[in-house]
A and B are shown apart, each in its own frame.
Chain A
Amino acid sequence: MAVRALAWLAERSATPVYIACGQDGDAMAARLAQVPAISLQHSIRHAAILLVAGPYRDADRPALRRLHDQLPHPRATVWWGAVPLAEAQDAVTIAQGDHPVARLRRLDRNLLRGERASEPDWLPDEPPNEWRGKGDHGQGGEGMMGGVPYGRPMAMMGEEMRDALMLDAMTITIGPFLRTLPPGLSLELTLQGDVIQQARVVTPAYPASGGASEPLLRAARMLESLGLPDLARRAQISAMRDSAEGLLAAARRCGALLALPAELADVRARLEAALRGGTAPDPGEEWLVDRLAGMEWQSALLRIASFDPATLAQIAPAAEPDEDEEDGDEKERAA
């Protein structure tokens, strides 16, 4: 009874969706931005439905599986212009040209009412490393820092390039479906604190399909990172209508350009051009990973988001992991 009352109330709220953008997924997300019944979330933990928009690469499958399992119950996955993975039972598919809102709303309602079962995990129920019963206290760890306590190792000391205080270096992979990164781009970052020490491109961004609306979508992503979600949505809607009118003035009023410090002058120029619906030229000589070293988190995301797809493809190509590391070493020695 109580559950049904709760469902009755809950199904009236906007459907929280995490959109995993594949090829052209950006433009598809923009189509949803103007629908008030759907709210696009930044974290998968805040969503009820994982929406895979546009075709994805084979390399993105593991990420997709991981993402799916992180959804809180009750949950469902919708494939919009994408081929369902083999694990997906009773998959909901929507053609790329169709508008998915009605299906999403119905699915959401069914989930809340319990009429559709929540999807089970796709990955096996096991920790990243075996730890139970191992180690000094059965927690998997050894000594002070060793072993895999509770399934993961601990971060170890690493080189530090900015202030010579050698503390733990943390290596994480972000993307390819992080909403503040260009779709498809996945980076391996070595962080000390929130400053990037080293970066490596794991998978490159999806190639652009050359729509005229691309600069505005890019501007929208930067505005999100600048903490202006409403203006970002406005940019997405403008992108759908192919008119950037008034957008730059609105961004100026919000201080979007002023907020960028002098070190990010290149980002400011690109944001301004993107808000006009154009693209600022970039020589594209320096690799993206070199431009990211030593940057703080928000600035780094802003800089990544500011490149147009053509430049990004040029400066952040898919690299063989080994080659790239050697490159980095050589550069260090040269410096």
Chain B
Amino acid sequence: MTAADLAFYVLSAIAVVSGWRVFRTDSMVRASFLLMLSFIAVAAIMLMLAAPYIGMATVFMMAVEMMVMALFMVMFMMNPAGLNPMNMVHQNRLSIGAGATAFVGLTVAVLFTDLPHEKVARQAPVIRDLGHELLGPSMLIFESAGVTLLAAMVASVVLSARSGRFGPSDEGSRPPGLEPGGEPAGRIPESEQEDE
């Protein structure tokens, strides 16, 4: 076993174990950053797989994404720090079964498929290739990614910000009642408060 193999096994273990712990920890902040740890371990494996750019870029992309993930987790989850231990799962057995089936199925598929074995050349200028690809053959992907991202930006702004151009986005909505037809359980939107 070479040092590279050892590093691969360690990193794989980190990636999988921290990925699993994400769903087992009570603190939402810890869950987010455990997922980040999983991503960083995968990124390190990618670096070892001669993908210097994609690996490194995964680290910074995932660091900020998980940072934002943590912000939203804390914002919307009850008991975000897990001060009271909790277990917010449903259909647990089914999920375990589905997860295990997926793993076993994929593993079997991997083991019994005749995989190609052409390795990337050690000194290949992969970043340069990627750049030429993006500006040449994959130009359409590149520019349509721009449009997609613009759409995502607009959509997230429209959905998340309250002060839209068309007035508060919660206008006319009432939270569900505790009993059918009962008083709204939560806050009454301001637009209706004014009427009362």
Contacts and interface: CB of A to CB of B under 8 A. Distances in A.
Interface of A: 135-137, 139, 141-147, 149-150, 154, 159, 163-167
What's the dominant secondary structure at chain A's contact region?
loop
B84 A164 contact: no
A191 to B, nearest CB: 14
Contacts of B101: none
B84 A136 contact: yes
10 contacts: A142-B84, A144-B84, A145-B84, A146-B84, A154-B83, A154-B84, A163-B163, A164-B162, A164-B168, A165-B162
Contacts of B79: 144-145, 154
A164 B186 CA distance: 12
What's the dominant secondary structure at chain B's contact region?
loop
Nearest to A142: B84
B86 A144 contact: yes
B84 A147 contact: yes
Contacts of A164: 162, 168, 170, 187, 189-190
A149 B170 CA distance: 34
Contacts of B85: 136-137, 139
B158 to A, nearest CB: 15
Nearest to A167: B75
B83 A159 contact: no
B96 interface: no
Contacts of B83: 139, 141, 149-150, 154
B120 interface: no
A165 B186 CA distance: 11
Contacts of B3: none
B155 interface: no
B154 interface: no
B187 A144 contact: no
B4 interface: no
A123 to B, nearest CB: 23
Contacts of A146: 84
A139 B83 CA distance: 8
B78 interface: yes
Nearest to A193: B75
Nearest to A147: B84
Interface in B109-166: 162-163
Contacts of A167: 75
Contacts of A163: 162-163
B17 to A, nearest CB: 24
A154 B78 CA distance: 10
Contacts of A141: 83-84
Given A136-B85, A141-B83, A146-B84, 10 more contacts: A135-B84, A136-B84, A144-B78, A145-B84, A150-B83, A163-B162, A163-B163, A164-B170, A164-B187, A164-B189
A232 to B, nearest CB: 32
A143 B189 contact: no
Contacts of B78: 144-145
A165 B162 CA distance: 9
A163 B162 CA distance: 6
Contacts of A145: 78-79, 84
Contacts of B187: 159, 164, 166
A147 B84 CA distance: 9
A126 B83 CA distance: 19
Interface in B172-196: 186-187, 189-190
A137 B83 CA distance: 11
A142 B187 CA distance: 24
Nearest to A143: B84
Residue from A141, A144, A159, A167 whose CB has the most chain B CB atoms within 10 Å: A144
Nearest to B75: A167
Nearest to B170: A164
A139 B85 CA distance: 9
Contacts of B186: 166
8 tightest A-B CB contacts, nearest first: A141-B84, A149-B83, A163-B162, A166-B187, A144-B78, A144-B79, A137-B85, A149-B84
A155 to B, nearest CB: 10
Contacts of B190: 164
A139 B81 CA distance: 13
Contacts of A159: 187
A163 B161 CA distance: 8
A151 to B, nearest CB: 10
Interface string B63-92: 000000000000100110001111000000
